[in-house]
Amino acid sequence: MRILLIGARGHVGSAAAAALRPRHDLIEVGRSTDPAVDITDEASIAAALDATGTVDAIIVAAGSVPFRPVTELTRDDYLAAFTGKVLSQLDVVRLGIPHLADGGSLTLTSGILARDAIATGSAASMANGALEAYVMAAAPELPRGIRINAVSPSVLAEATGYHDAFAGFPQVSDDEVGRAYVRAVEGVGTGRVIPVG
């Protein structure tokens, strides 16, 4: 398959790339690639899709949210979480559908905070929950047999800088995360959230 992976150089994206690269033609892009792709910039997404042409799958392993105590979060913080994690991935879906082959797939990335909580993580929980609800609702409406799923990992074992914030949470390996993306791309399910950890 020909797969566009957005966010290929981050922790999660690298795990997805390692699992998919041996069997697929992987086009790996992100903010630090040439050309660069910024998923918060609609024109950047469109340019990357136009340059890539038709693909069998699109994966988004990118997104950002602010982490602050709930009593300190502002409207702008919530807006940044929605724009950086939700709307950005929905823009990839919206703009990506015409670039997908019949029977292709879209895979978004949410996270464990949709189903569990940490201190300062309420904006992230809101964003992850919104993505997961969207995947469930959008799946029946997609045309041409296109599937959509979300991978929802716990904190990665390799992402040591996040371990203190996720005290007691299961730490998942790159291999576990990679297999979830393989399942999303190569499987037959749609409208599903694939939890890892």
Determine the pLDDT at residue 46.
96
3-state helix, strand, coil in the chain (%, to 5): 45, 20, 35
Determine the pLDDT at residue 166.
95
Looking up residue 9, the CATH number of its domain turns out to be 3.40.50.720
To the question of pTM greater than 0.85 for the whole model, the response is yes
The H or E element that residue 2 is part of is strand 2-6
Residues 104-158 have pLDDT tens digits of 999 999 999 999 999 999 999 999 999 999 999 999 999 999 999 999 999 999 9
Mean of pLDDT over the chain: 97
pLDDT at 160 over 90: yes
The runs of H, that is alpha helices, within 26-173 are 42-52, 75-81, 88-96, 122-138
pLDDT at 18 over 90: yes
Determine the pLDDT at residue 35.
78
For the chain, what is the domain count? Answer: 1
Buried b (16+ CB within 10 A) or exposed e, 117-152: ebeebbbbbbbbbbbbebbbebbeebeeebbbbbbb
Classify residue 164 by burial, with Cβ atoms within 10 Å: 0-12, 13-18, 19+.
exposed
Q: Which domain holds residue 114?
A: 2-196
